[in-house]
């Protein structure tokens, strides 16, 4: 039975992704919940049916009281035996079936699958965002919103059918039952309902904003805490434990204060609800007793009215809490929409086709990019890299080296100009196909918190075990693999490397990253200080490996250690976002320009230019 309900909805059903999903709450929920629309209708019908049965039982209780108080004992079974048996069968068989359907639909079909669908789609949507989008937010806050928004939306939908639809049906049924017994009994119920509705309105209009503020505050706490944990080496190295505690404490105190505001609303709600429920009991039951005294109502009417109001008294707190929870969860969802529904600004062009690389020639024509600012980045850059040519990039920090690479990978769109590979504008091909043709090793290598094997295989997921081992051999990674052991005793290629590869040395991380790029075997190779984390002996060994890997590829290598690029076909010197020198190592030394100055300042082959100009976003 469980499997039947659990499989009613496939949370991974195919759907068309939207570059600009709805940013308003209800359109968002409507769009993302399309696979559940039919289930919602069935859930609403069952909620009304369950409420109707409860009202009918209370009504029948009144009838039963009248029968027992007026009929002769000897005739009750003869006159009403069949009716009582049918009622018993209904209670023992049909009612449990309906109740089970209602509960199973909500607990087993709706809750798990709805949250799963939202989380899966939210994660897919966020992974489509550009690198620049991620650079503008905390990874912890993004993850927190992806994790807390789906269950909040699922809980809201659960409350909608488990409590709200049920309570509406119950209140309508209660009014009908009292009016049928005596129209005057519906008057105090109507008066109470108006006051109750006013209290509900007062509560939910305040709970929503208060809940969103509390959720925002919790996200800030998460972002600050994750930031500290992610950079724990820096925290420990600078002995800033107390500073980090204070930094997180400010956010924690802010979360406490926003939560206090939210809880004050619930306290006022509970007090008001207690007073209203007292008025309900006195009004309906008192009036029913008065009608009985006047002889215009039977004992059964009094019994039914009493049972109904006591049941409503017990339900109103639950209904109010359910409503408050509903709007509180919607507040959490609204906060999550700020991230999940952020429009995708860097998209594939309409009708974009896969990049076809035959020679791997690259051209930058009039390329300008300043990250939306007035300075930094590149300015009117023109560059042609021939197929198979090896280019070295040199320049001060902020000269535009990293910007050139990021634009080539299309992590950002150029603000002006065009970049093409084999005559194809990279803005008009698919992003995945573009990046599949470029292998890159960075100075700050971050590995996935997975096994060594999985990190290397990331370069080509369909690679065989032999190819993975061969790539590790080429990157000189095999030597240290037998010594790798993680906390769970996994060894070698199976050992996990820790978050961002923290369990490995810088050199070990770099060699695994090299193995990954070797396995990818892309026709264009980008090296950003690829051997900076290696000692001299290993660097010399890796350089020979890299020279072999470069063979037949178009290469762009960024380096401060000029000896690593001295053998390149051409060396480009960038300054102020422009190419100011272009030539071979020997020719640039003879010219006596910036490159010659950099070479003269070297200490052990390292370009010391960071002091000349502060690091800026390239």
DSSP annotation string for 93-159? IIHHHHHHHHHHIIIIIIHHHHHHHHHHHHHHHHHTS-HHHHHTS-HHHHHHHHHHHHHHHHHHHHH
pLDDT of residue 572: 94
**Predicted local distance difference test score (pLDDT) of residue 537:** 67
Is the pLDDT score of 610 beyond 60? no
Across the chain, what does the average pLDDT equal?
83
Strands 390-395 and 570-575: parallel
Q: Span 443-463, mean pLDDT?
A: 85
Question: Could you give the percent of the chain with pLDDT greater than 70?
Answer: 95
Non-local (6+) Cβ contacts of 616 within 8 A are 376, 397, 398
Rounded-to-integer distance, Cα 278 and Cα 271, Å = 11
CATH superfamily of the domain spanning 19-340: ABC transporter type 1, transmembrane domain (1.20.1560.10)
The two structure tokens encoding residue 450: 């997975």
Q: Is residue 534 very low, low, confident or very high in pLDDT (cuts 50, 70, 90)?
A: low
What DSSP character marks residue 428? G
pLDDT at 617: 41
> Of residues 386 and 446, which shows the higher confidence score?
386
Residues 590-613, mean pLDDT to the nearest whole number: 67
User: Per-residue confidence at 532, pLDDT binned at 50, 70, 90?
Assistant: low
What per-residue confidence (pLDDT) applies to 611? 40
What's the pLDDT tens digit per position in 107-124? 888 888 988 899 899 898
577's tokens: 């976002």
Q: For residue 390, what pLDDT band results from cuts at 50, 70 and 90?
A: very high
Predicted pLDDT at 419:
95
Would you state the pLDDT for residue 222? Answer: 84
> Which range has the worst mean pLDDT, 332-341, 352-361, 581-590?
332-341
Please say if the pLDDT value at position 321 is more than 50.
Answer: yes
The whole-number pLDDT of residue 551 equals 85
Name the pLDDT band for 615 (thresholds 50, 70, 90).
Answer: very low
- The yes-or-no verdict on residue 540 having pLDDT over 90 is no
The pTM score is: 0.73
pLDDT, tens only, 477-517: 877 888 888 878 888 888 888 777 777 777 788 888 888 88
Whether the per-residue pLDDT at 566 is higher than 90: the answer is no
Q: For the domain with range 362-437+522-601, which CATH number is right: 3.40.50.620, 3.40.50.300, 3.40.640.10, 3.40.190.10?
A: 3.40.50.300
Q: Parse the chain into domains and list their residue ranges.
A: 19-340, 362-437+522-601
- Spatial CB neighbours of 495, under 8 Å, sequence gap ≥ 6: 451, 452, 484, 485, 486
Starting at the edge strand found earlier in the chain, the sheet holding 554-558 runs: 438-441, 524-528, 554-558, 390-395, 570-575, 578-583
pLDDT at 538: 65
pLDDT tier for residue 189 given thresholds of 50, 70 and 90: confident
Average pLDDT over residues 388-395: 92
Check residue 536 and give its pLDDT.
Answer: 67
pLDDT at 616 > cutoff 50: no
């Amino acid at each position: 039975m469980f499997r039947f309900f659990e499989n009613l909805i496939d949370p991974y059903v195919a759907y068309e992704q939207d570059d600009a999903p709805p940013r308003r709450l209800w359109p968002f929920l409507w769009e993302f919940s399309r696979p559940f629309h039919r289930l919602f209708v069935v859930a609403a019908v069952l909620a009304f049916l369950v409420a109707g049965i409860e009202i009918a039982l209370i009504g029948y209780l009144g009838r039963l009281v009248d029968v027992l108080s007026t009929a002769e004992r000897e005739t009750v079974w003869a006159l009403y035996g069949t009716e009582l048996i049918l009622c018993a069968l209904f209670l023992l068989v049909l009612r449990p079936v309906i109740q089970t359907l209602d509960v199973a639909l909500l607990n087993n079909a709706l809750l798990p699958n709805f949250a799963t669908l939202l989380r899966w789609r939210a994660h897919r949507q966020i992974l489509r965002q550009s690198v620049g989008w991620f650079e503008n937010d905390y990874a912890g806050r993004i993850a927190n919103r992806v994790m807390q928004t789906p269950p909040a939306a699922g809980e809201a939908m659960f409350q909608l059918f488990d409590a709200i639809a049920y309570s509406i049906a119950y209140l309508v049924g209660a009014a009908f039952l009292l009016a049928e017994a005596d129209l005057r009994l519906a008057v105090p119920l109507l008066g109470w309902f108006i006051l109750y509705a006013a209290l509900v309105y007062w509560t939910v209009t305040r709970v929503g904003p208060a809940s969103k503020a509390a959720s925002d505050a919790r996200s800030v706490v998460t972002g600050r805490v994750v930031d500290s944990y992610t950079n724990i080496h820096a925290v420990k190295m600078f002995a800033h434990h107390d500073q980090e505690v204070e930094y997180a404490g400010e956010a924690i105190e802010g979360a406490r204060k926003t939560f206090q505001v939210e809880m004050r609303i619930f306290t006022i709600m509970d007090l008001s609800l207690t007073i209203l429920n007292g008025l309900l009991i006195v009004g309906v039951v008192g009036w029913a007793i008065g009608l009985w005294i006047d002889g215009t109502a039977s004992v059964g009417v009094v019994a039914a009215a009493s049972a109904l109001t006591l049941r409503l008294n017990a339900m109103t707190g639950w209904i109010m809490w359910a409503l408050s929870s509903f709007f509180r969860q919607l507040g959490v969802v609204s906060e999550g929409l700020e991230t999940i529904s952020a429009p995708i600004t860097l998209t594939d062009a309409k009708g974009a086709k896969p990049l076809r690389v035959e020679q791997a020639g690259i051209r930058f024509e009039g390329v300008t990019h300043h990250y939306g600012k007035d300075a930094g980045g590149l300015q009117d850059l023109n560059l042609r890299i021939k197929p198979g040519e090896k280019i070295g990039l040199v320049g001060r920090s902020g000269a535009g080296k990293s910007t050139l690479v990021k634009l080539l990978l299309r992590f950002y769109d150029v603000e002006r100009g065009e970049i093409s590979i084999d005559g194809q504008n990279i803005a008009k091909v698919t992003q995945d196909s573009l990046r599949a043709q470029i292998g890159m090793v960075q100075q700050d290598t971050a590995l996935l918190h997975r096994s060594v094997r999985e990190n290397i295989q990331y370069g080509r997921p369909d690679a065989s075990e032999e190819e993975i081992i061969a790539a590790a051999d080429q990157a000189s990674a095999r030597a240290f693999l037998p010594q790798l052991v993680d906390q769970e005793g996994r060894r070698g290629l199976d050992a996990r490397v820790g978050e961002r590869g923290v369990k490995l040395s810088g050199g070990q991380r770099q060699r695994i990253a090299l193995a990954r790029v070797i396995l990818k075997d892309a026709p264009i190779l980008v090296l950003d200080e690829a051997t900076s984390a290696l000692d001299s002996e290993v660097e010399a060994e890796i350089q020979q490996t890299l020279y072999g890997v470069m063979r037949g590829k178009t290469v762009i290598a960024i380096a401060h250690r000029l000896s690593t690029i001295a053998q390149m076909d051409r060396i480009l010197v960038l300054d102020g976002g422009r190419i100011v020198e272009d030539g071979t190592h020997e020719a640039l030394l003879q010219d006596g320009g910036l490159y010659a100055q950099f070479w003269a300042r070297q200490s052990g082959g390292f370009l010391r230019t960071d002091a000349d100009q502060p690091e800026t976003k390239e």
